[in-house]
Amino acid sequence: MKRTLWIILLLVIPHFAIGQYIKAKTYSEVTIDEEFIKDTLTIDAYLTKAVQYSFSKDKFAQLFFKKAIEKATILASQEQIAKVFLVKGIYYWKNYEYFEAIKTFNKALIFYENSKDSKNLSKLNYYLAESYYYVYSEDIAFKYFLRALNSYKKDNNDIGVAFCYNGIGTIYGNKNDKVALGYLNKALAIFLKYKNYKGISSSYINIANVTADNNEIEKGIELYNKSIASLKYKQDEYNLAINYNNLGDCYIHLKDYNRALLFFEKSLAISEKMDVKILHALIYLNIAEAKFKQGFYNEAITFSNKSINYAKIHGDMEIQALNVLALSNIYEKTGKHAKALQLKNEYIVINERSFRNIDQKKIQLFQSLNELENSQFEINKLKLKNESVYSKLQTRRNITYLLIFITLVLISLIIFLFYQQKEKNKIYALLKTKSDQINTLKDDVQVQNDYLCDLNNTKNKLFKIIAHDLKNPLSSIEAFTDMMLQNDDEYDEEEHVIFLNVIKESATKASEILNDVLVWAIDQEKPLKNKKLSLYKLINEELKLLEIQALQKEISIENQVGSDLNVVTDKNKVATIIRNLISNAIKFSFVKGGIMIQAEVVGKFVKITVNDNGIGIATADLHNLFIVDYKKSKLGTSHEEGTGLGLVLCKDFVEKLGGRITVSSKPDHGSSFSFTIPITNTIPD
């Protein structure tokens, strides 16, 4: 059903105050005098003028927002700067510019978290949840709804709790009707208790939407009428227009097209009065559908074209696509198949463009948020740097005194040496000898320092990988554990099972990451333990460990290594290398594929090769396989996940054993990983 659920939520949330400061002080840290109060009134005047402009005149609004932020920054008041970001964010939010709203609200979020202002922080989290919901980032929206819900509960703000229930219920409306209705009815109960008629109307509409979408049309109509009845106590023309539109949609499903058109006309009259063009587009789309059902095809075409024009004004590609599809159906019904096919192709193009546009905006948003985070980091660095200026000046002063003292001592020494010419020559000779020794030591120290820097860089990159890979599973565990710790019995057993499964999967992923890191860490401390071993037997032992993994994909593995081929080396390291390479081969091989393990003597080395006929590796990716850096492990042919550290460990172990590792691959034809180790290992520990 074409409902206006997303518009409903836009209009029912309370107008909260959100803010941010830029290197400013709180009211308790500044002097509030007559001049300060005068400046705050000036800021209020700028903001009042800014929000009076419609979004079509946004450039004028931005001029006043700029003046307001400049005045607030000069005033150096955290609360005043926060107020400017609040009003600007709401301005974007009311004009459906949710990406810009998210950027503005995130500027405030950092500082509210630092100031621990729970009241404003809960409101800000709610705004962010709503904004992310409207840009189809429901997972992120859900996270912010939970944060806002917990804050409101701590502050005993029942109305805020109700609005959070409303938002969570809306997200579940597309996934689980039972859970959605549970949250929405909780919200309705709170709104009824406090006689919050706007919230009551909103809850009835959202419950009706879920009910009607579940094909309980008559019950949905009853709930829409209850919403209309509640508006008698709190006039809200927008919610009234939405109720009329949704009632019309219900009557289309009941095939009572005349009554449907009556409600659409009522909704359209209110929409035209309020001049909400996106609602015009939706209503005209519904009218066109009713006319089509009645067989009035020319009228249906007229109303679809009107809907398209309003959708273009607002930039809504989804409604444009639905209208083009409707026109295609009309022309097909009237026998104009060529025109119908042309419009259907146009529908596909518009629909794909809509998805690309949304994805592009999401990418731009997260790039902007990343830039914001980096900027804040730089600000904190500069702040720390400024705080240390006085300390550095004091240190320089002390150094100056020390240099003066040293200069006096040197002058005295020169005078003394003038009378000790013979001794001076001996001292020079001795100093030259010592200087040569120092230079030699310096070179040795520099070599060691370069080596330690390389090790430190490798460690830092490894930590970045660990932090990057652990962030997602640990965030999931944190969020779902927090939900299960709620003590108000709002989650049923089914939800608890879902949450526990998510926690289990996240914990398993984190455990795999930490296991690879543990293997690497233990290796850094343990010396090589070289002993004679049979490569054939060692490979067979590792194949037994991987047998289940191979059987699951019906992969055959052939050990072609000679039974008489022995080497003297560290068994654990060689076993780890072979296990990782075979495991990767299984992971990226197709079902019923084949893997072959070979070995040959090359001079004083043994070359061991693992071949597979799997998906292969792109040429551009080959040189990055063994590098410790930010990267994500690719999924296997059966969607197996990994940590991305296996090949890095293999390279590290091979080099410590005195060999080298290589790879050759062709996409869709398989890969071949080879490594060499000395037949008799003489590499020192």
- Mean pLDDT in residue range 448-463: 66
pLDDT recorded at residue 14: 38
Which residues of 156-237 form beta strands (DSSP E)?
none
- Within-domain flag for 373: no
Structural domain total, the chain: 5
With bands split at pLDDT 50, 70 and 90, how would you rate the model's confidence at 462? low
Q: What is the pLDDT of residues 508-557, one digit of tens each?
A: 656 766 776 666 666 665 667 788 999 999 999 888 878 878 888 889 99
Angstrom distance (rounded) from CA 107 to CA 165: 26
Determine the residue type at 420.
Answer: Q
Residues 329 and 303 in one domain: yes
Instruction: Provide the Cα torsion 46, 51, 54, 56; round to 10°.
Output: 60
- Within-domain flag for 375: no
Residue 502 in contact with residue 542, Cβ under 8 Å? Answer: no
Q: Buried (b) or exposed (e) across 630-646, using 16+ Cβ within 10 A? A: eeebeebeeebebbbbb
Residues 25 and 112 in one domain: yes
Q: What is the pLDDT of residues 73-92, one digit of tens each?
A: 888 777 788 788 878 888 88
Query: For 673, phi and psi rounded to 5 degrees?
Result: -105, 130
pLDDT recorded at residue 542: 86
Pick the more confident residue, 539 or 465: 539
Residues 240 and 301 in one domain: no
Q: What is the pLDDT of residues 39-72, one digit of tens each?
A: 899 999 999 999 898 887 888 999 999 999 898 8
- Among the three residues 120, 138, 165, which one is the final residue of a domain in this structure? 120
HEC readout, 82-127: HHHHHHHHHHHHHCCCHHHHHHHHHHHHHHHHHHCCHHHHHHHHHH
Q: Is the pLDDT of residue 19 over 80?
A: no
- Among the three residues 247, 275, 303, which one is the final residue of a domain in this structure? 275
Residues 578 and 614 in one domain: yes
Residues 643 and 571 in one domain: yes
Q: Which two tokens stand for residue 141?
A: 């929206």
Residues 196 and 77 in one domain: no
With bands split at pLDDT 50, 70 and 90, how would you rate the model's confidence at 600? very high
- Mean pLDDT in residue range 250-272: 92
- Among the three residues 215, 240, 275, which one is the final residue of a domain in this structure? 275
Q: What is the pLDDT of residues 284-317, one digit of tens each?
A: 999 999 999 999 999 989 998 998 898 888 777 8
Average pLDDT in the chain: 80
Q: Is the pLDDT of residue 574 over 60?
A: yes
- Within-domain flag for 486: no
Residues 294 and 248 in one domain: no
Residues 183 and 256 in one domain: yes
* CATH number, residue 583: 3.30.565.10
Distances (CA, A) of 582 to 57, 355, 629: 64, 40, 23
Neighbours of 684 (CB within 10 A): 6
With bands split at pLDDT 50, 70 and 90, how would you rate the model's confidence at 432? confident
pLDDT recorded at residue 636: 61
Q: Is the pLDDT of residue 6 over 80?
A: no
Q: Which two tokens stand for residue 324?
A: 């083009």
- Within-domain flag for 337: yes
Q: Is the pLDDT of residue 10 over 50?
A: no
- Within-domain flag for 684: no
Residues 199 and 305 in one domain: no
Q: Which domain holds residue 165?
A: 157-275
- Within-domain flag for 510: no
- Within-domain flag for 521: no
Q: What is the pLDDT of residues 195-241, one digit of tens each?
A: 898 888 889 989 989 998 888 999 989 999 999 898 887 778 888 89
pLDDT recorded at residue 345: 87
Q: Is the pLDDT of residue 427 over 70?
A: yes
- Mean pLDDT in residue range 372-391: 54
* CATH number, residue 363: 1.25.40
Query: For 53, phi and psi rounded to 5 degrees?
Result: -85, 140
- Within-domain flag for 515: no
Residues 555 and 670 in one domain: yes
Residues 547 and 575 in one domain: yes
Residues 243 and 294 in one domain: no
Pick the more confident residue, 377 or 568: 568
- Mean pLDDT in residue range 126-143: 85
Beta bridge partners, 678, equal: 605
